[in-house]
């Protein structure tokens, strides 16, 4: 993939997200009004309107695609196709994960949502879930249920926590590997 193809994909995806969020906001406005959500579902916390999603989601989508584009264009051209497929797979995986989390919350299965949210840190041991494509998929899928601001805040916290977990585990693995490689072996004496 070259820069021109990325640019076309970027504008199509940003346009699709913009059209989708504004269509949903206009539909909500014309029917029951645009909902607002209390932070942490507590009435004593600030109330955040879903209107913010009309600006936040298109901007965040554009920002993520630019960052992924810059990361992929630095790689050799023969690797880009595979890395692009990996980024798309990561995006759709996070989209499905966020949809399951939202669906379990909305349908009242809070036990499942209470397991799914911290389970992201378990996945962070093995995968780089702090990457932009994971976070964008997570935020977009949860924005339908919770608006755009709260999933963005939670996505930022999850990205930070998962990066800490991933790099800490990688650091410990390399230290253990280096220690066992330099340790003299006991030959059974």
Check pLDDT > 60 for residue 189.
Answer: no
Check pLDDT > 80 for residue 71.
Answer: yes
Residue 20: the pLDDT is: 94
Share of the chain above pLDDT 70, in %: 96
Q: Which DSSP category does 37 fall into?
A: E
Average pLDDT of the segment spanning 78-106: 91
Tens of pLDDT, residue by residue over 16-53, are: 999 999 999 999 999 988 888 777 777 888 888 889 99
Angle, vertex CA 24, rays to CA 17 and CA 56, nearest 5: 45
pTM of the model: 0.85
Check pLDDT > 80 for residue 160.
Answer: yes
- Both structure tokens of 115: 């397991």
Q: Which residue has the higher pLDDT, 20 or 186?
A: 20
In angstroms, the CA 65 to CA 10 distance is: 6
Residue 172: the pLDDT is: 92
């Amino acid at each position: 993939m070259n820069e021109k193809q990325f640019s076309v994909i970027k504008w199509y995806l940003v346009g699709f997200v913009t059209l989708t969020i504004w269509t949903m906001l206009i539909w909500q406005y014309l029917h029951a009004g645009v909902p607002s959500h209390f932070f942490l579902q507590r009435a004593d916390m600030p109330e955040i309107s879903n209107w913010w999603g009309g600006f936040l989601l298109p901007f965040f989508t554009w920002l993520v695609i630019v960052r992924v584009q810059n990361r992929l264009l630095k790689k050799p051209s023969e690797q880009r196709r595979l890395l692009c497929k990996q980024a798309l797979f990561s995006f759709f995986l996070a989209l499905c994960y966020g949809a399951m989390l939202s669906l379990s919350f909305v349908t009242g299965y809070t036990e499942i949502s209470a397991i799914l949210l911290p389970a992201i840190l378990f996945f962070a041991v093995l995968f780089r879930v702090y990457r932009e494509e994971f976070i964008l998929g997570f935020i977009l899928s949860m924005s339908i249920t919770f608006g755009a601001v709260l999933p963005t805040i939670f996505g930022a916290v999850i990205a930070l926590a998962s990066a800490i977990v991933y790099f800490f585990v990688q650091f410990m693995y390399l230290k253990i590997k280096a220690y066992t490689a330099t340790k003299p072996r006991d030959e059974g004496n």
